[in-house]
Amino acid sequence: MKQYYTISLMLVLFLLNFEIEAQECNNTHSTTTEDSWLSCTLTPNPNPARSSSHWVQYDLGYTYSIASTKFWNYNVAGATAQGFKNVAIDYSLDGITWMTLTTFLLSEADGLVDYLGEDGPDFGGISTRYVLISAIDTWGDGTCAGLSEVRFDLLPLGVELSAKVMLEGAYNPSTLLMDDVLRSQGVIPTSEPFSSLGFVAVNNAVTENIAPALLNTTGNNAIIDWLFVSLYAENDPGTVVATRSALLQKDGDVVDLDGVSSLAFSSVAAGNYFIAIRGRNHLSITSLNAISLGNASLTTLDFTSSATAVVGLNPRKNINGVLLLWAGDATADNIVNASDRAQTWNMRNQSSYLISDVNMDGQCNAADRALTWNNRNKSGN
Ligand SMILES: [Ca+2]
Ligand SMILES: [Ca+2]
Ligand SMILES: [Ca+2]
C-alpha cells in the first residue's frame, strides 16, 4: 500500500531545486560530497517563527499524506560534525503558514560507505505539501550544516465522498424529492457549468463532461443539476485542497460523472477534510467538523439531516425537518441580496438553463424574483 519517495537533496546555491525519485531501497548512503547537501550560509527561515538558519524546504508538488520518514545525516568522512544534530520539522499546505511537527535528535553519521541512516519522526498521516527541515545545531561544526538524504513514506492518493444534499429551488415537499424539470426539458449542459460562472477549480485534472444519455435516467436517480464540491484542509480550514463538479440526483445523492458512483478526488490524500457543497444559484454549506475520507468504509454524509452539522447560523432552509441549500443566488457570488432580485428582473421571461432560474423550473419569472426576495440577506458558508 505504501509508496516510498526519496527526496534527494540537490543544492543549487541555497535555493533548492530538488527531485522526487522512486528508488530501490538499499538503505545505505555513500560518503561523497556529491551525494550530500551542505549549507555554510545562514539565511532567513521560511517559517518566520525561526531565525536565520540552515534549512531545507521541500515542495512535494501536491498535498500528500505523509507517514514515516527516514534520515541520512551528512556522511562525508572526516566531516560528519557538520551533520544536523537537533532538527526541527515544520509543515505547511501553502508554504506560508507553518505548523511544527516536532524537534528531534538526529544521530551523527558514521562516515562509512555502508551508513544506514535512521528512522525520523512519523507524520501520522498528516496531509501537507511543504516540509521544512531546520538545523537547530550541528554535531560540532560552527559554520556549516549538512544532510545526505531524507525519505518520506507517502500514503496513496485518492478518496471518495458519499454525500446527500437537497436544493431548495427544486425541492418538492409533497414528494420529499427534488423535481427534475431541467432534465426533462433537456437543458442541463453536458459540461460543468461552474468555470464560466467564475468558480475556481483546485487540484482537479478531471475533464468534467457527461454522456448525454445519462440525462435520460428517470426516477429517484434522475439528474437534477450540477453541484460544486470543495474539500478544505483540517489543519488549515482557509485552504482549499481540491474541488470537483458533481451531479445531483433527484433523491439528493451527490454522484460522479457516471451519474451513480460516489464522487472521487483522485489526487487527494486520505485524511480529514471540511466539505463544502454549493449549487449554481444556491448558497454553499460547509461541514462543521472535518470528515474522515479514505480511511474508513464509505458512509453517506447526509446534509439534509440536522445530524450533519454545518457552519453558520441558520445555514440551511428547514422544510418539515428536511434541510435544504438556500436558493436565490442569481449572480453566483454566494450571497443573496438586491443584486439577485435585479438579476431575476433583468432576465425575466427568459427560459432554458439560467442562473436566474433559482426555483429550477426552466423559466425566469416572478416566482424567481419572489424567492430571491424571501431569502435576501443570506450568504453561504
Ligand atoms: Ca439515489
Ligand atoms: Ca448573489
Ligand atoms: Ca424559475
Structural contact between residues 38 and 67, judged by C-beta atoms closer than 8 angstroms:
no
- The per-residue pLDDT for range 283-339, each reduced to its tens digit, is 999 999 999 998 667 889 999 999 999 999 999 999 999 999 999 999 999 999 999
The H or E element spanning position 370 is helix 366-374
Tell me: pLDDT of 4 over 90.
no
Same domain, yes or no: 84 and 221: no
Q: Tell whether 341 and 301 lie within a shared domain.
A: yes
DSSP E strand boundaries for 325-370: 335-336
Q: What is the pLDDT of residue 18?
A: 33
**Per-residue pLDDT tens digits for 189-200:** 999 999 999 999
- The pTM (predicted TM-score) of the whole model is 0.73
Q: Which of 135, 155, 175 is the last residue of a domain?
A: 155
End-to-end CA distance of the chain: 36
Domain count for the chain, please give it.
2
- Kindly tell me if the per-residue pLDDT of 17 is higher than 90: no
**pLDDT of 11 strictly over 60:** no
Pairing mode of beta strands 271-278, 223-233: antiparallel
CA of 210 to the centre of ligand 3 (A): 24
CATH of the domain at 30: 2.60.120.260
What is the CA(365)–ligand 3 centre distance, in A? 6
Euclidean distance between CA atoms 281 and 277, whole angstroms = 12
284 C-alpha vs ligand 1 centroid, how far in Å?
A: 21
pLDDT in tens, 333-381: 999 999 999 999 999 999 999 999 999 999 999 999 999 999 999 999 9
Statement to judge: residues 166 and 300 lie in one domain: yes
For 41-84, the pLDDT digits (tens) are 999 999 999 999 999 999 988 788 899 999 999 999 999 999 99
Please tell me the least confidently modeled range out of 11-15, 16-20, 154-158. 11-15
Ion ligand 3: residues, Cβ under 5 Å? 357, 359, 361, 363, 368
* Ligand approaching nearest to the C-alpha of 331: 2
Q: How many CB atoms lie within 10 A of CB 118?
A: 14
pLDDT score, position 27: 62
Strand ranges inside 210-270, DSSP E: 223-233, 236-249, 253-255, 263-269
pLDDT mean over 112-124: 95
Residue 157 pLDDT more than 90? no
Residues 23 and 77 in one domain: yes
Q: Check residue 98 and give its pLDDT.
A: 95
Residue 343 Cα to ligand 2 middle (Å) = 9
What ligand has the least distance to the C-alpha of 362?
A: 3
- Do residue 373 and residue 323 come from a single domain? yes
Q: Which residues surround ligand 1, an ion (CB under 5 A)?
A: 221, 249, 251, 253
Q: Residue 83: give the domain boundaries.
A: 3-155
